[in-house]
Chain A
Amino acid sequence: MASLSPIYFADKLRAQQQLEALQARYVGTGHADTTRFEWTSNIQRDSYASYVGHPPLLSYMAIGMGECREKVRAQMIEKMIQPVGKPPEVQD
């Protein structure tokens, strides 16, 4: 690290700040240290959010599943909690 010039360092700092700002606004964004668990949870949640957010798609799925539309919606919202199961154990 010592060999880095200060200018480069400043750039890195700025990039870091930008990333943090981005992350604060969009939960689904990631970075080089994002774990598989985090990412898969996010994309699953996004998928459910997308199904629920498009009423025609939701209706289509509801008919396909033979359930009432509202029920399907509730199920999907329910599934957004831990969509890929429990977080992995932290091993130190």
Chain B
Amino acid sequence: MSDSDFDTIRKLQAERNAAAAGKKGSKMFDPSSQRTDVSTKASLTESFDTTLYERDGGDRFAGYNTSIAAADGDDDDDMEEDTSRRLVGQYTASKEQMNEFAHGNGVEEDDILLGREKSARIIDRETEYQKRRFDRALTPTRADPFAANGAAEDGESYREIMARRELEREEERVKRAIEEKPTNGETAPHVATLTNEHSGSASDKDNKDTGSAEVVPAGRKRKQRWDVASGSADATAQSAESKVKRSRWDQTPAIGGAAIDETPRRRSRWDQAPAATPIGNQGLVTPMHPSQIGGPVMPTAFGTDISMRNAPLSDEELDMMLPSEGYKILEPPPGYAPIRTIAQKLMATPAPAGGTSGFGGFMMQDPESGRVAGRQLPTEIPGVGDLQFFKAEDMAYFGKLTDGSDENEMTVEELKQRKILRLLLKVKNGTPPMRKTALRQLTDNARQFGAGPLFKEILPLLFERSLEDQERHLLVKVIDRVLYKLDELVRPHVHQILVVIEPLLIDQDYYARMEGQEIISNLSKAAGLAHMISTMRPDIDHVDENVRNTTARAFAVVAKALGIPALLPFLRAVCRSKKSWQARHTGCRVIQQIPIMMGCAVLPHLKGLVDCIGVCLQDDQSKVRTQASLSIAALAEAAHPYGIESFDDILKPLWIGAKKQRGKGLAAFLKAVGFVIPLMDEEYANYYTSQIMEILLREFSSPDEEMKKIVLKVVSQCASTDGVTAGYLKQHVLDEFFQSFWVRRMALDKRNYRQVVDTTVDLGQKVGVSEIVERIVNNLKDESEAYRKMTVETVEKVIASLGAADIGERLEERLIDGILFSFQEQSVEDIVMLNGFGTVVNALGVRCKPYIPQLVSTILWRLNNKSATVRQQAADLISRIAMVMKQCGEDALMGKLGIVLYEYLGEEYPEVLGSILGALRSIVTVVGINQMQPPIKDLLPRLTPILRNRHEKVQENTIDLVGRIADRGPESVNAREWMRICFELLDMLKAHKKGIRRAANNTFGFIAKAIGPQDVLATLLNNLRVQERQSRVCTAVAIGIVAETCAPFTVLPALMNEYRVPELNVQNGVLKSLSFLFEYIGEMAKDYVYAVTPLLEDALIDRDQVHRQTASAVVKHVALGVVGLGCEDAMLHLLNLLWPNLFETSPHVIDRVLEAVDAIRMAIGPGLVMNYVWAGLFHPARKVRVPYWRIYNSAYTQSADSMVPFYPDLDDEQMVRHELAIVI
């Protein structure tokens, strides 16, 4: 890639950034959090519930594989390791990097078509690796050796399965061997290519004896999925002699003649007929069009097919076309059933281009054509009702329901199946209420339906390729519910369920993974450990890596569900398997997954887990060693900071292994070492670090990206342990570290960049600021922008955590100089630069004084720039450094800045305007209202119109500034101006952002304080009449605040007077204001209780529900305010009025009422309130008992102890509490 290309890309990126900055609103930069990325989406890789799964400080998944290794995973067995020894490092940026530069990360513009293109189908977002799930087939039902009656009924036994797996492995081995032959140079002597061009020479040998040219294509060559069909009748014939291998795709029975005859009765995977595609002429490789097939014409999928001409004719059409006399319509022979296999169904779907009109492209639907209308997808299936949707693919599964056959003639089994299908269809495609009832029916009748019939229908649906997230979720839910009911009946189907559920464990979607885990965990609880192990054991050394991977994850879930100790003996045996290395590999992987899933809960079993994989560290197979060390890393990370004693035994092999290994294996060992070292105590950590450091230093120069990342991680882990001293790091590590990692190239790749910055900061924690800054300060003037950025970020992080006291005079000069340079030279305005600048200036504090004039001139110059982002950044910088300028005594300069900013208030870009207002605010805060230049009386009138700006950032900053002025210097502006601002503020009360509404409310308080509450209150009370609820609520809050700031007696009379307005909204608003008012004034309420009681009386007996609800809220706040202040009489009075509302059923009303009762119980004590309660606890009417018990329960949970003296005396011998009668 040449420089010019780089430049173009950079330019494009700059333009895009500028455009995005103008467009995207506050998405770009949020001043409160100072982050550009304010995505509201929940993270996929982190646990959603951060309070439950608290991450103290760091990212608990750091270092784990949070994404699933797909194509280039650590442990993809089918991939050969990269053995090419590159002598020179890679100097060109990779394609991904270039793309990232071109499209940006987080700064790219929103593609409006993106959402539309991103289809809901799961398969569309799956990687190749994940799609391999379709390679698995639903296995036959298995025998349940643990069944209660002891008799293993029909189904495959464990022995059969193991034998089959053995066969598969052998097959794989032979296939490999055949593939490898040509590469190993054992190629058969060259054969003339004229006779067969496309079959490999290896296959020749196999085919030699058949001697027929036609069978050659069916010979052994590397299989391509679509040409499996070439196994035509000839091939099947051949299969009798030489066992032709088939992939699992070809399970559908062929339509071609001979195949069916040859299919034996027992249906294992190996003997099913091969043809997936219909075969025309025997021996033809190309599949023919379905219309050519003799025999039954299948109905095509409804609606999707536009090939009208090829579509089957309807009965009516046939009646019209054919003469009615002389012909007879024959009955279909008994036992005939149309074939409904999906594979064949789908064949009919793709319409030949331009099927009808001879050319492709858009076609108007002819509304006249009855056939088109008639062939629409049915939305109503008999016995199901209206569905939300019905897809063409659904027809394959649910088509049976539409065939209109007579239910009276069906057997019980058939009826059952139809019932299940109907319910499933309702769950999958129905409306939410339909779904709910159907799901309930399925659950309730699960045992009657039986496990077999249920799973026979559910599981194939989950294998459907057009499945969408929602459908999958619902089907998985069905399985989950059904599992509960079926319990041990699921055993024969465990493997089938696993086959469809395991892929969920490697889904990108966090929730899908969780769902999968839940199912497997329930499954293992239902089926029991022994059965789970015997079911999953055969998959542990499966030939397909994907199967082993998902099985390992499933085993980890089983361990989580049934406890690690239960599974440990099995895992130990697996990890020591002599028979196959795949089993050992999978065993290690299970042990890696357990800590990832369970975190520190592995601690009690740490020793056992480590012991399992200890031996694998010295395995012959490098993959097993690698996996074992990755598992050690995961265990150590989960155990941190405990449990070093469990690792004692493996320390030696680990360290020796690290010295022996090279390449990928080494990377894994280093990773393990990096996680084990932090667990050690000081001396050991020091010793082991020095042992490993030579290797790390050697690998500093490794060209492998993965290795680089791991080395960096290990260095930072070593550096942050106590045992490693600053002296050691300075002496041995720093020089080489900076030499190999602080190079421009590292800044280009985002992940390397991050890793280098983090590691440098970690090193900085030990060796000090100046050591680090000294080494990198020159890079601030480097010509590569990315490199400058990396330097600024590092400097920022180091200085932010350690301060700048360590920085000498000369270094300080170079630092400021460098930062200024890189700030001015940035081509893309970046938050990193801004943060870096701000942090450095703030850390240096007064030492910045000499540089301030230079700084300010830069800012002024940039404020004048024609690019909006530059102006915005300059304004943001002012707010960062205002504090320091004040410390340096640069008041004059600040005044100058203030005036310049004031002049820029006409800014048209809202983002920039927001930043300018922010800068003004920070100047006002620092210099004070009185010293402010320009004077407040000039500034505020300019702000009033800006309040009308609808942009959130602008609103937030203006309101903040105005509020501050109202708070600190209200006298500088006259009352009329403040009133004008009040009116503007009313609009802000309905802002979307809570921060703005809150700021507006507070400002009302300040203004009311400044000019007296009367006028403000009048404005607010008027606003109670508006229609909009949000606005009324906020007005109520504002009234509450005004009352709080100006004392309640200034507000209450007017407010209560307003209650007399015979308008529901207003009265409600008043009540709401009262509620906020009493909430805010707290104990002050005791002076006003008797004043508001009559009003509350009226409100509590109002006909309107909402009225009483709001009044209850007021009562609650009043009561909580006057606890212990002697207003019990009023409270009791209110309780009497409140009590009848107990029987309200609307959830909001009853909640408020109960809260109010609780509050009054606080105010008057439980004794009095409980007197009301005893009466209803055992009332004959349930409708009465229910709410009374609710009150009793909340009283009991809140003040059980103080209720004891007040328990009633019941007329019961046993109930007399003699102890209470003791008097001394």
User: What's the least CB distance linking B271 to chain A, in Å?
Assistant: 50
Mask: chain A, 38-61; 1 = CB below 8 Å from B; 0 = not? 011001101100110100000011
Chain B: CB-nearest residue to A11? B1147
Contact status B1196-A61, CB under 8 Å: no
CA distance in complex: A64, B1223 (Å): 7
Contact A30 B1219 (CB under 8 A): no
Contact B1193 A29 (CB under 8 A): yes
Q: Report whether B436 and A26 are in contact in the complex, using a CB–CB cutoff of 8 Å.
A: no
Contact A85 B1223 (CB under 8 A): no
| Residues of the A chain whose Cβ atoms lie less than 8 Å from the Cβ of B1178 | 36
Residues of B near A47 (CB, < 8 A) are: 1204, 1207, 1217, 1219
A68 within 8 A of B: no
The interface residues of chain B lying within 8 Å CB-to-CB of A50 are 1201, 1204
Q: Kindly state whether residue B114 has any CB partner on chain A within 8 Å.
A: no
Task: Determine the chain A residues whose CB is within 8 A of the CB of B1186 once the complex forms.
Answer: 31-32
Name the CB-closest residue of A to B1183. A32
Q: Give the distance in Å from the alpha carbon of A11 to the alpha carbon of B1201 in the complex.
A: 31
CB neighbours of A28 from chain B (8 A): 1196, 1200
A63 within 8 A of B: yes
Contacts of A44 in B (CB 8 A): 1214-1215, 1217
B1224 interfacial contact with A, CB 8 Å: yes
Q: A22 contacts the other chain (Cβ, under 8 Å)?
A: yes
A77 interfacial contact with B, CB 8 Å: no
Q: Judging by beta carbons under 8 Å apart, are A46 and B1200 in contact?
A: yes
A46 / chain B contacts, CB cutoff of 8 Å: 1200, 1203-1204, 1207
Interface check B125, CB cutoff 8 A? no
Tell me if A's interface is mostly helix, strand, loop or mixed: helix
Contact partner of A64 (CB less than 8 A), chosen from B1193, B1200, B1215, B1224, is: B1224
Contact string, B520-538, partner A, CB cutoff 8 A, digits 1/0?
0000000000000000000
Beta-carbon nearest neighbor of A14 in chain B: B1147
Residue A84 interfacial (CB < 8 Å): yes
B residues in contact with A32, CB < 8 Å: 1182, 1185-1186, 1189
**From residue A14, how far is it (CB to closest CB) to chain B in Å?**
10
Pair A31/B1189 contact, Cβ less than 8 Å: yes
Does A90 lie at the interface of the complex (its beta carbon under 8 Å from any beta carbon of B)? no
Shortest distance between the CB of A32 and any CB in chain B (Å): 4
Distance (whole angstroms) from the CB of A10 to the closest CB of chain B: 8
Cβ of A6 under 8 Å from chain B: yes
Q: Are B1222 and A60 in contact (CB under 8 A)?
A: yes
Q: Scoring B residues 1203 to 1224 as 1 if CB is less than 8 Å from chain A, else 0, what string do you get?
A: 1100100101011010100111
Min CB distance B285 to A, Å, is: 56
Tell me, in angstroms, the Cα distance from A16 to B675 when the chains sit together. 47
* Contact present for A30 and B1192 (CB under 8 Å): yes
CB contacts (< 8 Å) of A76 on chain B: these are: 1219
Cβ of B1215 and Cβ of A84 under 8 Å apart?
yes
**B1215 in contact with A22 (CB, 8 Å):** no
CA distance A8 to B533 in the complex (A): 44
Out of A22, A31, A61, A84, name the residue touching B1222 (CB < 8 Å). A61
Is the CB–CB distance between A6 and B1223 below 8 Å? Answer: no
How far, in Å, is B402 (CB) from chain A's closest CB? Answer: 27
The answer to whether A34 has its CB under 8 Å from any CB of chain B is: yes
Report the minimum CB–CB distance from B1017 to chain A (whole Å): 40
Partner of A53, one of B432, B1182, B1201, B1210: B1201
Instruction: Decide if B348 is an interface residue (CB 8 Å cutoff).
Output: no
In the complex, the answer to whether A83 meets B1147 with C-beta atoms within 8 Å is: no
In the complex, chain A residues whose CB is within 8 Å of the CB of B1147: 11
**What residues of A have a CB within 8 angstroms of the CB of B1210 in the complex?**
40
CA distance A34 to B1223 in the complex (A): 34
* Interface presence of A65 (CB below 8 A): yes
The answer to whether A30 and B1189 touch across the interface, beta carbons within 8 angstroms, is yes
Report whether A65 and B1212 are in contact in the complex, using a CB–CB cutoff of 8 Å: no
| B433 lies within 8 A of chain A by Cβ | yes
Q: Is the C-beta of B292 less than 8 angstroms from some C-beta in chain A?
A: no
Question: Once bound together, how far apart are the Cα atoms of A36 and B1210, in whole Å?
Answer: 11
CA of A60 to CA of B1212, assembled, Å: 25
Give the residue among A28, A29, A46, A60 with the most B Cβ atoms within 10 A: A29
A42 to chain B, nearest CB (A): 9
A50, B1201: Cα distance in complex, Å: 6
User: With a CB–CB cut-off of 8 A, which chain A residues contact B1224?
Assistant: 60, 63-64
Contacts of A84 in B (CB 8 A): 1212, 1214-1215
What chain B residues lie within 8 Å of A31 (beta carbons)? 1186, 1189, 1193
Nearest CB to that of B1222 among chain A residues? A64
Residue B1197 CB within 8 A of the other chain? yes
1/0 contact string of B775-803 vs chain A (CB within 8 Å): 00000000000000000000000000000
Whole-angstrom distance between the alpha carbons of A61 and B471 in the complex? 67
Looking at A26, A39, A43, A76, which has the most chain B CB atoms within 10 Å of its CB? A43
Q: Which residue of B lies closest to A5 (CB)?
A: B433
User: Could you tell me the distance between the alpha carbons of A43 and B1166 in the complex, rounded to whole angstroms?
Assistant: 15
B1204 near A22: Cβ-Cβ < 8 Å? no
Name the A residues within 8 Å of B244 (CB-CB). none
A83 touches B1222 (CB 8 A): no
- Asked whether any CB of chain A lies closer than 8 Å to the CB of B1177, the reply is yes
CB neighbours (8 Å) of B1214 from chain A are 40, 44, 83-85
- Complex partner residue of A61 from B433, B1185, B1203, B1219, CB under 8 angstroms: B1219
Docked pose: A61 CA to B1222 CA in angstroms: 7
Q: Which residue of B lies closest to A72 (CB)?
A: B1219
In the assembly, what is the distance between CA of A71 and CA of B571, in Å?
A: 55
Which residues 45-86 of B have a CB within 8 angstroms of A? none
Question: Within the complex, which residue of A6, A30, A63, A85 is in contact with B1193, where a contact is CB–CB below 8 Å?
Answer: A30
Min Cβ gap A31→B in Å is 5
Q: Cβ of B1203: which chain A residues have Cβ within 8 Å of it?
A: 46
**In the bound complex, CA of A26 to CA of B1207 (Å):** 18
* Cβ contact within 8 Å between B1177 and A39: yes
Q: Name the residue of chain A whose CB is nearest to the CB of B1221.
A: A64
Q: How far is the CB of B385 from chain A (nearest CB, A)?
A: 15
One of A11, A19, A40, A61 near B1212 (C-beta < 8 A): A40
Q: How far is the CB of A29 from chain B (nearest CB, A)?
A: 4
Name which residue of chain B comes closest to A9, CB basis.
B436
Q: Which of A6, A22, A43, A51 contacts B1207 (CB 8 A)?
A: A43
Query: Within the complex, what minimum Cβ distance (angstroms) separates A75 from chain B?
Result: 10
Distance in angstroms from A28 CB to nearest chain B CB is 5
Name the interface residues of B810-844: CB closer than 8 Å to any CB of A.
none
Set of chain A residues within 8 Å of B432, measured between Cβ atoms: 6
Question: Closest CB-CB distance, A35 to chain B, in whole Å?
Answer: 9
A29 and B1215 in contact, given A34-B1189, A61-B1222 (Cβ under 8 angstroms)? no
Q: Complex: how many Å from CA A35 to CA B1147?
A: 27
In the complex, which residues 940-973 of chain B have their Cβ closer than 8 Å to any Cβ of chain A?
none
Question: When chains A and B are docked, how far (Å) is the Cα of A40 from the Cα of B1210?
Answer: 9
* A58 CB to nearest chain B CB (Å): 10
- Give Cα A18–Cα B1193 distance, bound, in whole angstroms: 12
Residues in chain A within 8 A of chain B (CB atoms): 6, 11, 19, 22, 26, 28-32, 34, 36, 39-40, 43-44, 46-47, 50-51, 53, 60-61, 63-65, 76, 83-85
Q: A29-B1192, A39-B1177 are in contact. List 20 more A-B contacts (CB 8 A).
A: A6-B432, A6-B433, A6-B436, A11-B1147, A26-B1200, A30-B1177, A30-B1192, A30-B1193, A32-B1182, A34-B1177, A36-B1178, A40-B1214, A46-B1200, A46-B1203, A46-B1204, A46-B1207, A47-B1204, A50-B1204, A64-B1224, A84-B1214
A–B Cβ pairs within 8 angstroms, 24 of them: A6-B432, A6-B436, A19-B1193, A22-B1197, A26-B1196, A28-B1196, A29-B1192, A29-B1193, A29-B1196, A29-B1197, A30-B1192, A31-B1186, A31-B1189, A31-B1193, A40-B1212, A40-B1214, A44-B1214, A46-B1200, A47-B1207, A47-B1219, A50-B1201, A50-B1204, A51-B1219, A60-B1224
> Which B residues contact A (CB, under 8 angstroms)?
432-433, 436, 1147, 1177-1178, 1182, 1185-1186, 1189, 1192-1193, 1196-1197, 1200-1201, 1203-1204, 1207, 1210, 1212, 1214-1215, 1217, 1219, 1222-1224
6 closest A-B pairs by CB:
A64-B1222, A84-B1214, A32-B1185, A50-B1204, A29-B1193, A6-B433
